[in-house]
Chains A and B, each alone.
Chain A
Amino acid sequence: MLKQKIHRINNFIGGGLVKKFVIWIVFIIMLLGILTTIFVQVSLTKTLSEELRERGQVISRNLAASILESILIEDTVYVHRLVENTKKTEKDVNYIYITDAGGKVLAHTFEGGFPGELLTVQINLENSPHLLDTGDGIIIDFTAPILDGRAGFVHIGMDETSMHKKIDQTSRAIITLTLFVGALGVLMAYIAGNYLTRPIRSLVKGTEEIGRGNLGYQIKTDSTDEINILSKAFNEMSYNLNNSINELRESEERYKKLVDSISDAIILVDSQKKILSWNSGAEKIFGYCLEEVAGSKINILFYTAIEDDNLEIQGGENVFKRKDGSNFPGLISNKPLQDRRNAGNVLVIKDITKQKDLENLEARLIQSEKLFMLGKLAAGVAHEINNPLTAISLHTQVMLKKTWDEKTDRRLQIINKETDRAARIVKRLLEFAHQSEPKISSVDINREIDNLLNVLEPQLNGTKITTDLTHLPFIMADREQIQQVIMNILTNSIQSITKDGKISIKTVVKHGYIEIDVKDNGCGISQDNIGRIFDPFFTTKMPGEGTGLGLSICYGIIKKHNGSIDVKSEVGIGTTFTIKLPI
């Protein structure tokens, strides 16, 4: 209770220790002063009052004894003299008067007559002494009987004025002294407070220094008291803190180097999947610096955002997005932090672009091999079939020149037609197999595209074709073959479009290559099929509608030109073919 009070008072005072110290000291001194003044007032009043009363009693009794005979023998001169003398010699006597047994005033010390009111008051009061308020001050009236009252009474009025004056003087002296001591106390308390709080202030400074990061700050101390112990403890703490922090820093440095030396991206995310930290490998892979992504959702790194925040990030292959917007395939692994709070996860993302490329290369190698084998087979078969087909066609021609019944004639016509078709397939097989060497000449790709578009126009069926053709250098290529490739791709695109078709053709020079993008908004190619579209005889068309050789031939032509052909497609959105040809 008292403690809370003091605490509240201290809070009320506010300010520093010195201020509190000074205020408390002054408060205590003032309290002491007040208490002393009260005590002195009380005790002095009591003592002096008692003394005054005793004196009054003694004087009145003595006077009664000494005046007795003079009264009885009616020696009024002597009575008056005695009364006057007593008043003169005794201090604090305000008045003396003598009455006889009947209450008649025999002698008094009042100048200019006796105040009659005093007599009436005296009669009413029996006990001696009693107090009279004359307006100028309090008078203690003592009544002493002379010869048991038979000869009269002595009345003496003792003045309290001088007593009060003494008390007032003493009180004033004490108050003055208290104020003086109070002032002195303020000064002393200020000096002492300053002296006592100096080590505390240096402690405060030390704490502030450490707070500012100046670890290992040492306080100077020369005292021998508790403050010294505290200062030493502080210095030790400061030293140890410095050492610990340094060790921690070194350790952190080591771990940072370790983590940064890993080329994979190591990302620390919190439970909200926000990026907390990552290593320099991550910076290299994604192109962001840490400050840019810290606090952002991990989603910004994914090509396809994870919609559900609560969903755990699945380990395995995924496509990631760099700062420049480009994508790359990556392998992600996810491990929850082995932390008490389970605050987040550690994600490790490995860039597997090169692996993917290698896989592609390998796939193409196999493709080439396949095609080569297929070509040989097809060439053999075609050659073998070509001779009988030639014979069948020749004989059918011969027979048609003759006149047959209508039925036979019609049958011959069918044979001729189908033979032609067979011959055409064989021819294409041979084309595919032979992959005939390109006849090189300088070709303007843009002009070829324009020519092709003119030829194709009747077949468009409302499909809009836009072109964005930048100036291209001439390249050395087989014009017919290139025409065939673009024609083939455009035909595929037109065929994939169901309605409101849009095809855009874009040509650009990039890194020593001419790049031709053909983009449509057709039905797209499923992920399952996209790897097989360049395989011979692979077709999504109904049997008899396509040979499945078109894109395979295109692939072969571009390969022969040392170029590349890529496809990106999404089902329902469209497909983009990219052809690259060296300049």
Chain B
Amino acid sequence: MISEKKMILLVILSFAIISGCLEPEGVVKVNLSNRTADNLDNSDAQILRIAVSAIISPDETLVYYQDMFDYLSLKMGVPVKLVQRKTYQEVNDLVRKNSVDAAFVCSLAYIEGKDQFGMELLAVPIVRGEPRYYSYIIVPGDSSIKSLEELKGKTFAYTDPLSNSGKLSPEYMIAKIGENPETFFKLTFFTYSHDKSIQAVAEKMVDGAAVDSLVWDFKNATDPRFTSRTRIISKSPPYGIPPLVVSKDIDPDLKEKLRKILIQMHEDKKGKEILDRIMIDRFSEANDSLYNSVRDMKKVVSDAKTKDT
């Protein structure tokens, strides 16, 4: 009798096992046939859009600026959206088309924007007491290269065609030593962000690169994984720091409100915390003359390029 019961139990158990395999638990019923056509209207009516040029790579940018954007949303009373593009030029285009309300752009991109469609300065960050930064020429840590001259005929990574520290400045330095920036290197790349340039050098994908001192210093302080494997062989003179710009067609009230929030940000406890974390002292009023040195360099470089051709 016992064995019969056992048999029945065994059969039930095996059925349970089989059915258990065939019909898993926690299944949620979903009807996939009710579909709605995609809404191609991508406009966000009540949203403040601020673009950030890929000075550092987009994902790092997101992390870097997240808190500040949240802070701005809070202060402005509307959601603030971070807009990114691959190249500096694309960001300039967004500003020109008024697709964004404000943008963090590179110094050279600002000069270009101002020249082309009247891009206006909104504010500049003050880092270590001044609104200036540098361009570093870096090589791999164990590289024998000690000067820019030695990089001749090597491979080199630029950041972006509209980058000051990552493109114009090294070209200027090459022009200064009497070489043609177009032909000085064997091969050049655009990495489209400074952290990627640092990474490329650290991984020895290229023999050298020019990077934003702000990025290198920030990375070296927060995450020296790659910077520790690079060595600075040359530091440029100071340039006007990459500013926060607006389109010339922006609503003056909005511009004023935004500028006020930025300039007073460090006075706020929470704002100060956020600024400290991204190693910015404060935001300050901006003066266009800050970028004159960049304008001079641009002229020298373009002369140097055209000289040979």
Task: Report chain A residues within 8 Å CB of B48.
Answer: none
Minimum C-beta distance from B197 to chain A (A): 15
Q: Does B61 contact A (CB under 8 A)?
A: yes
Whether B58 pairs with A115 at a CB distance below 8 angstroms is no
A58 to B32: give the CA distance in the assembly, Å: 24
- Contacting residues, chain B, for A72 (C-beta < 8 A): 58-59, 61-62, 84
A45 touches B54 (CB 8 A): no
Chain A residue with Cβ nearest B1: A1
Alpha-carbon distance between A118 and B29 when the two chains are bound, in angstroms: 10
Tell me, rounded to whole Å, the shortest Cβ–Cβ distance linking B240 to chain A: 26
1/0 contact string of B228-265 vs chain A (CB within 8 Å): 00000000000000000000000000000000000000
Stretch at the interface among A126-134, A277-285, A289-297: A126-134
Q: Is the CB of B27 within 8 A of A134?
A: no
B54 and A73 contact, CB distance less than 8 A: yes
Q: Give every chain A residue within 8 A of B59 (Cβ-Cβ).
A: 68-69, 72, 147, 151
Tell me the complex Cα distance, A147–B57, Å. Answer: 13
Complexed CA–CA distance, A566 and B229 (Å):
164
Give the residues in chain A near B177, CB-CB below 8 Å.
none
B85 CB within 8 Å of chain A: yes
**Cβ-based interface call for B289 (8 A):** no
Q: Which residues of the other chain, A, contact B30 by a CB distance below 8 angstroms? A: 115, 117-118, 121, 132-134, 139
Could you tell me if B32 and A73 are in contact, using CB atoms closer than 8 angstroms?
Answer: no
Instruction: Flag if B3 contacts A42 (CB, 8 Å).
Output: no
Measured CB to CB, the nearest residue on chain B to A5 is B3
A219 adjacent to chain B (CB < 8 Å)? no
Contact of A116 among B24, B36, B84 (CB under 8 A): B36
A115 touches B33 (CB 8 A): yes
For A25-41 the 0/1 string (1 means CB < 8 A from B) is: 00000000000001001
Q: Tell whether A131 pairs with B27 under 8 Å between CB atoms, given A72-B61, A117-B32.
A: yes
For chain A residues 102-152, which have a beta carbon within 8 Å of chain B? Answer: 105, 110, 112-118, 121, 124-125, 130-135, 138-139, 147, 150-151
Q: Give B91's nearest chain A residue, CB to CB.
A: A73
Cβ contact within 8 Å between B32 and A118: yes
A51 at the interface (CB under 8 A from B): no
B17, A114: Cβ atoms closer than 8 Å: no
Contact call B37/A130, Cβ cutoff below 8 A? no
B31 located at the interface, meaning its Cβ lies under 8 Å from any Cβ of chain A in the complex: yes
Q: Are A115 and B32 in contact (CB under 8 A)?
A: yes
Q: Which residues of A contact B220 (CB under 8 A)?
A: none
**A75-112 interface code vs B (CB 8 A; 1 in, 0 out):** 10000000000000000000100000000010000101
Among residues of A, the one whose C-beta sits closest to the C-beta of B33 is A115
The answer to whether B38 and A113 touch across the interface, beta carbons within 8 angstroms, is: yes
Beyond A72-B84, A75-B86, is A38–B26 a contact (Cβ under 8 Å)? no
Seen from chain A, the residues whose Cβ lies within 8 Å of a Cβ on chain B are 1-2, 5, 38, 41-42, 45-46, 68-69, 72-75, 95, 105, 110, 112-118, 121, 124-125, 130-135, 138-139, 147, 150-151
28 contacts between A and B (CB under 8 A): A5-B3, A41-B21, A42-B21, A45-B22, A68-B59, A69-B59, A72-B61, A72-B62, A72-B84, A73-B84, A73-B90, A74-B83, A74-B85, A95-B32, A113-B36, A113-B37, A115-B32, A116-B35, A131-B24, A131-B28, A132-B27, A132-B28, A133-B27, A134-B31, A135-B31, A138-B24, A139-B30, A151-B59
Q: A72-B61, A95-B32, A131-B27 are in contact. List 10 more A-B contacts (CB 8 A).
A: A41-B21, A42-B17, A73-B54, A110-B32, A112-B37, A115-B31, A116-B35, A118-B32, A121-B30, A139-B30
